[in-house]
Amino acid sequence: FFVCSFVVFFTFKLLESSLLNAEVKEGEILPPTIQRLMKGYNKYLRPFFDNGPVTVGMSLDIASIDTISEINMDYTATIFLRQRWTDERLVFEGNKSLSLDGRLVELLWVPDTFIVDSKKSFLHDITVENRLIRIFPNGTVLYALRITTTVACNMDLTKYPMDKQTCTLQLESWGYNINDVMFYWTRGNESVSGLDSLQLAQYTVEDHYTSVSEAIYETGHYPKLVFHFELKRSILYFILETYVPSSLLVVLSWVSFWISLSSVPARICIGVTTVLTMTTLMMGARTSLPNANCFIKAIDVYLGICFSFIFGALIEYAVAHFCTLTHADAHMLMYGHHMHDFDDEMNGIITTISTHCSRAKRRKDPSSPSGSESKPEVSPPERTNWCLTVLATLRKILRAISCCHVENPHHIDNYSRVTFPLSFVIVNLLYWTYYLYF
């Protein structure tokens, strides 16, 4: 029993001496001022624990916006997040601030700030963790971080690529509600810097501003800061990549209007080639966009217009070629004589029927022997009226067919040379006016 007690006592003393040596070594690292500040400091309790909420001022420096993805509807940015607050327990004498190693942040209380709508974030740690801790004599603490984050951004692509997107970067407190912590921007809209010097591939930053609000959840109201920035897409790339090639394909389809109708292989080759090329261009324009979209984009509308004009040029040749096959001068002359004779025959039939109806009326109206007044006229039979109506309708249909008949199929190409370019210009004016100014 005594031996066991001695072993336990010796082990306890050995552990105690080891802990004391470790504390001494750690204390040797900290300067005397920090040792005095850390004495009795509890990092698990926020400043002003019993005297109202602690106010935390924030500012941002946007180092870069690396990518903006329409497919994932998010953006990736590298930011410098700076937070300032006052901790009355860290007041010390002097007129100079203390810049500490970032690893000493584990000894202090810091706000539990997080980025709302963040999909993925990380703190840079090359060559050490990119943190900054600075304590001022009045107890003010400056805490800065270098973070790269991927944040969701809801985009409206109905006017793509002539669209403007408004994205946000929202900062909230995770566990402290508005009774414990209050957030504010240190310099209002000027609290965010670095956007003016950014060079983005497809966008330009048109406007940015800050706002202060509250996040309401089931567990309470939490402080929230929001940074809004508006991005306008540069359309020059899409004009050179999509709009100009598709317009040139439409113009190329019009070349067939100047080729003879008898050159079937040439015109069919131009029509089919332009249709297939336009289809490939439409598929290529969709590769950089999300597949599951519930809206039609502006570029889809334009590509659809170009495809319709190209397909219409192919259909135009099919109609013109069909009229050429059914066209013959002698046949058309005979057709004209037959139509004239048919009109005369129809006029004779209608005249005969009318005369017959008049005679039938006279036979059905007997005259009185005393010369008294005749009886009222009896209406013609319904069958006769029906025959007249059918014949008159048939005559109108035949006249309409004769008016729609193309006397010379070559005139179809002549009309198409004017109507297709003119219609395309008018549609382009309406398209660009709507999407640029409305």
For residue 94, the model assigns a pLDDT of 83
C-alpha to C-alpha distance for 396 and 109, rounded to whole angstroms: 95
pLDDT digits 0-9 by tens, 1-20: 544 454 444 554 444 444 33
What is the topology classification, in CATH, of domain 234-330+401-437?
Methane Monooxygenase Hydroxylase; Chain G, domain 1 (1.20.58)
For residue 29, the model assigns a pLDDT of 56
Residuewise pLDDT in 10s, the chain (438 residues): 544 454 444 554 444 444 334 443 444 456 777 788 888 889 999 999 888 899 999 999 999 999 999 888 999 999 999 999 999 999 988 888 888 888 888 889 999 999 999 999 999 998 899 999 999 999 999 999 999 999 999 999 899 999 999 999 999 999 999 999 999 999 999 999 999 888 898 899 999 999 999 999 999 999 999 999 999 999 999 999 999 999 999 999 999 999 988 888 999 999 999 999 999 999 888 776 766 556 789 999 999 999 999 999 999 999 888 887 765 443 544 455 555 555 555 555 555 555 655 555 555 555 444 444 444 444 455 666 777 777 778 777 756 555 555 667 778 888 999 999 999 999 999 999 999 998
Burial of 241 (0-12, 13-18, 19+ CB in 10 A): middle
Distance separating the N- and C-terminal Cα atoms of the chain:
94
On the CB side of 367, how many CA atoms lie within 13 Å of its CA?
Answer: 4
CATH number of 30-233: 2.70.170.10
For residue 428, the model assigns a pLDDT of 97
Stretch(es) of the chain classified as CATH 2.70.170.10: 30-233
Give the angle subtended at the CA of 56 by the CAs of 52 and 57, to the nearest 5°. 140
Burial of 433 (0-12, 13-18, 19+ CB in 10 A): exposed
Stretch(es) of the chain classified as CATH 1.20.58.390: 234-330+401-437
For residue 365, the model assigns a pLDDT of 53
